[in-house]
Amino acid sequence: MGTPKHFVGDGGTAWGSSHGGYQIDQGDTQVDEATLRAIHLVPYSAVIAEGAQSIMVSFSRWNDEYMHGQQYLITDVLKEEFGFEGFIVSDWQAIDQINPDFYAAVVQSINAGVDMNMVPYDYERFISVLEEAVDKGTSAKSA
C-alpha cells in the first residue's frame, strides 16, 4: 500500500521558518486557505479519488500550527470533506513537536485525527498517556 505524504503544504514552506537547525524542511507554509487549497490540497483530493488508503502527515506547519495537531485539515477537510476513510499516520517522532507537554500533544494529535503516531523510542510512555487520556475522556480543548 502506497502512502502519499507529507500532508499538507510540505512543498510550500518558507525559507528560514523551520525549527531545529533546518532552513526549509519542517518549516511553515505561510499562505491563506484559498492558496493552500489551490496548490497544496489538490494532489490529496486526486490520490483519494484514485483509492489511497494511507496518508502521512507532514512535520511542517500551516500558519505556525503543526500539522499533526490540525484537526481542521486532518479531520474536517481530509476525512470529512474529501471523504478519506483510510489510515492517517504521523511522521517519525512528530508528536513531540506539537506541544512541550507530552500529554497535551498526544491528546491533540489523536483528536486531530491521527490514527497512528510513530513514537520510536518511548512507545510505553505514549501508550500509558493515551490510555490515561481515554480513561479521563480528555479532549483537545481540555488537555
CATH classification for the domain delimited by 5-136, as one of 3.30.1360.170, 3.20.20.300, 3.90.1260.10, 3.30.565.60: 3.20.20.300
Q: What is the mean pLDDT of residues 111-126?
A: 95
Segment 53-111, tens digit of pLDDT:
999 999 999 999 999 999 999 999 999 999 999 999 999 999 999 999 999 999 999 99
Rounded to whole angstroms, how far apart are CA atoms 43 and 139?
Answer: 31
Q: Is the pLDDT of residue 43 over 60?
A: yes
Which pLDDT does position 140 carry in this prediction? Answer: 57
What is the structure's pLDDT at 107? 95
In angstroms, the CA 31 to CA 63 distance is: 7
Confidence band, pLDDT 50/70/90 cuts, at residue 49: very high
Give residue-wise pLDDT tens across range 9-35. Answer: 888 887 878 877 777 788 889 999 999
The Cα–Cα gap between 84 and 81 comes to: 8
Integer Cα distance of 53 and 4 in angstroms: 9
pLDDT at 143: 57
Q: What pLDDT is recorded for position 141?
A: 57
Q: What positions carry a catalytic annotation?
A: 91
**Helices (H) then strands (E): counts for the chain:** 6, 6
Could you tell me which residue, 18 or 122, shows the higher pLDDT? 122
SS (H, E, C) 77-104: HHHHHCCCCCEEECCCCCHHHHCCCHHH
Q: How far apart are CA 21 and CA 23, in angstroms?
A: 7
The per-residue pLDDT for 126 is 95
**What pLDDT, on the 0 to 100 scale, is given for residue 142?**
57
Question: How far apart are alpha carbons 76 and 78 in whole angstroms?
Answer: 6
